[in-house]
Chains A and B, each alone.
Chain A
Amino acid sequence: MNTTILTELKAEAKDLNFLYGQVHALKDINLPIERRKVTALIGPSGCGKTTFLRCFNRMHDLYPHNRYKGEIILYPDNVNIISPEIDPIEVRMQISMVFQKPNPFPKTIYENVAYGLRVRGTKKKQVIDERVEKSLRGAALWDEVKDRLHNLAFDLSGGQQQRLCIARALATDPRILLFDEPTSALDPIATSKIEELIIELKNEVTIIIVTHNMQQAARISDYTAFMYIGEIVEYDRTEKIFTAPSSKLTEDYITGRFG
């Protein structure tokens, strides 16, 4: 009898290398991304976790002298999304990102959420209205803002702004949602709200999160990859990484001996 739990892959990095000019920032990364699970990337500052995350939506294409090598395959399409033949804008339309610092646009709450639809040329007000409401509900923000959708987004608190950015990212039905240390600029209460939200969101979308906070990775992720100087040292189920890591380096990091 086969006892292995059947999982489904949403994406997979294969021998991924990344160079900033001459700096070899990611070295031979191999990592599966399970569908509708939360995969956490942890590691000390400068280990390349954010660089890796930003490969998934081709953010590095915005700056000169960056080179990708290897593959990130998106399933079920079997497309290598870092291939130069693939349009980065198409990739970003399917893989959304939430940033470290809340970065709402200087627009109303409604227009912030509608932004992704507008850049895709959606015109129908009814469609946009529905998506805005659904996304704000999905980001657990609807009840707080439903009476002031047309106020400027800057009127919201930091935690609300970050949930607004999550709603903005959800509005276009992404296949993968990337989080780059989404709570590092937030207070503990706002942080726990975002964490609860991420746990809920994985029912609908595959999530990759970069975090500095190991407790956060332990609380919300299903899989954890520990990175060190541009390489993946260890990848496993989160419980395993935090209770019985197989690498000494991982153990030293999660027990706080360095980092």
Chain B
Amino acid sequence: MKKNIFSKRYLKETFIEGGLLMAALFSVFITISIVIILAYESYGFFKAVPLKDFLTGTQWTPLFAEPRFGILPLVAGTLLTTLIALIVALPLGMLVAVYLSEYAPHKLREIIKPVLELLAAVPTVVYGYFALSFLTPILQKFLPDLSGFNALSPGIIMGIMIIPYVSSVSEDAMIAVPMHIREGSYAMGATKLQTAFKVVIPSAFSGIAAAFIIGISRAIGETMVVSIAAGGMPNLTINPLEAVQTLTAYIVQVSLGDVPHGTVEYKTIFAAGMTLFLMTLGFNLLGFWLRKRIREVY
């Protein structure tokens, strides 16, 4: 009966525990390594380019004979396409979530949800060509000023692409709202719609905020669609009809090209990557803060 830490049982437990810890530490280690490499390479970049020029410059032409390193055009391109995507995805995603959680009969929901989630399984390169060769020509019929490469078409397509992320996570949060909260609303004479919008959505707020953050991060980080359909022009504009370049598309462009390693031009991709990382980090922190602020009580 004496406790023997070398017994088979204890060894097995220790071994498994150690294994699990390693698995957890491994992903943390990878994340930290990525941040360190980003920071290190960006540091090399900022030794050559003053931070002020980087943050306030309005031209991004690192590959030109007379290079300019103003990140704003890329940030603008990213924010513009992201904004368009969100204008499409957030309302539609919410409506889908409200329908699935509050209106759809159980059987229908079990069919619609997986089909919707298939939207997320389509390779993004397919979405990219869809935007370029299908949506853009259609939009050009209504908007004659629309250039062949533009922010609008990939923005809309990205929005459609992230609807399942938004709706699926929102719906999970809404369906988790306890029935007695809904009953409280119905008992006051509220309709289904009033109950959904005035009670269920606020009750599920933290989950819905998480869904929005996932959607935003997804849109900011999306690469293929914008590389293909938005054009490769760093362009400081808020006009969705013009061609733009996003941070991600720029990184792709440089990674593919023949920029020699170790040069400032090469290091620009780390500076752009760092900017991208800080943006998504910012949105994630915002989501975290929102969730803390509206604490869930159930």
Could you tell me which A residues sit within 8 Å of B by CB distance? 57, 59, 62, 89-90, 92-93, 96-97, 99-101, 103-107, 115-116, 118-120, 154, 165, 168-169, 172
Residues of A within 8 A of B297 (CB): 106, 154
Q: Is B58 an interface residue (CB 8 A)?
A: no
Which of A59, A62, A96 has most chain B Cβ within 10 Å?
Answer: A62
Q: Which of B3-49 contact A (CB under 8 A)?
A: none
Chain B residues within an 8 Å CB radius of A90 = 189
Question: Is B203 a contact partner of A105 (Cβ separation < 8 A)?
Answer: yes
Contact of A105 (CB < 8 Å), options: B189, B202, B294, B295: B202
CB atoms of A99 and B191 under 8 A apart: no
CB of A168 within 8 A of CB of B188, answer yes
B191 contacts A59, CB within 8 Å?
no
B183 touches A116 (CB 8 A): no
Q: Encode contact with A along B163-195: 1 for CB under 8 Å, 0 otherwise.
A: 000000000000000101101111111110010
Pick the residue among B186, B198, B199 that contacts A92 (CB under 8 A). Answer: B186
B186 to A, closest residue via Cβ: A62
Q: How far is the CB of B109 from chain A (nearest CB, A)?
A: 14
Assembled-state Cα–Cα distance A93/B184 (Å):
12
**Inter-chain contact B183/A119, CB cutoff 8 Å:** no
> A172 is contacted by which of B186, B189, B191, B202 (Cβ under 8 Å)?
B189
- Contact A116–B180 (Cβ < 8 Å): no
Chain B residues engaging chain A, CB cutoff 8 angstroms = 178, 180-181, 183-191, 194, 198-199, 202-203, 205, 294-295, 297
- 17 other A-B residue contacts (CB within 8 Å) besides A99-B183, A104-B184, A105-B202: A57-B187, A59-B186, A62-B186, A92-B186, A92-B187, A92-B189, A96-B187, A97-B187, A99-B180, A99-B187, A100-B180, A103-B180, A105-B198, A106-B297, A118-B198, A168-B188, A169-B187
Would B191 and A119 count as touching, CB distance under 8 A? yes
From residue B290, how far is it (CB to closest CB) to chain A in Å?
A: 14
Q: Known contacts A115-B188, A120-B189; is A59 also within 8 Å of B202 by CB?
A: no
Q: How far is the CB of A7 from chain B (nearest CB, A)?
A: 27
Contact between B202 and A107, CB atoms less than 8 A apart = yes
Q: Which 5 A-B pairs have the closest CB atoms?
A: A93-B189, A103-B184, A97-B187, A92-B189, A116-B188
Q: What distance in Å separates the Cβ of B145 from its nearest Cβ neighbour in chain A?
A: 43
Q: Nearest chain-B residue to A103 (Cβ)?
A: B184
Residues in A neighbouring B187, C-beta threshold 8 A: 57, 59, 92, 96-97, 99, 169
Q: Are A103 and B189 in contact (CB under 8 A)?
A: no
Instruction: Flag if B191 contacts A89 (CB, 8 Å).
Output: yes
**Known pairs A89-B189, A119-B194; A59 contacts B183 (CB<8 A):** yes
Which chain B positions have C-beta within 8 A of A99? 180, 183-184, 187
Give every chain B residue within 8 A of A172 (Cβ-Cβ). Answer: 188-189
Distance of A46 from chain B, by nearest CB (Å): 19
Contact B188–A119 (Cβ < 8 Å): yes
Q: A101–B178 Cα gap in the complex (Å)?
A: 11
Residue of A nearest to B184 (CB): A103
Partner of B183, one of A62, A89, A168: A62
Which B residues lie within 8 Å of A106 (CB)? 199, 202-203, 205, 294, 297
Known: A97-B187, A116-B188, A168-B188. A103 touches B198 (CB 8 A): no
Q: Which residue of A lies closest to B194 (CB)?
A: A119
The CA of A169 and the CA of B295, in the complex, are separated in Å by 25
* Residue of chain A at shortest CB distance from B294: A106
Nearest residue (CB) in B for A96 is: B187
Q: Which residues of B contact A97 (CB under 8 A)?
A: 187
Alpha-carbon separation in the docked complex, A103 to B182 (Å) = 9
In the complex, how many angstroms separate the beta carbon of B188 from the nearest chain A beta carbon? 4
| Bound Cα distance A105, B202 (Å) | 8
Most B CB within 10 A of own CB, among A96, A106, A119, A154:
A106
**What chain B residues lie within 8 Å of A93 (beta carbons)?**
189
Q: How far is the CB of B206 from chain A (nearest CB, A)?
A: 10
Give the distance to chain A from B292, nearest Cβ to Cβ, in Å. 14
A57, A59, A100, A119 — which one has the most chain B CB atoms within 10 A of its CB?
A119
Q: Report yes or no: A105 in contact with B183, Cβ–Cβ below 8 A.
A: no
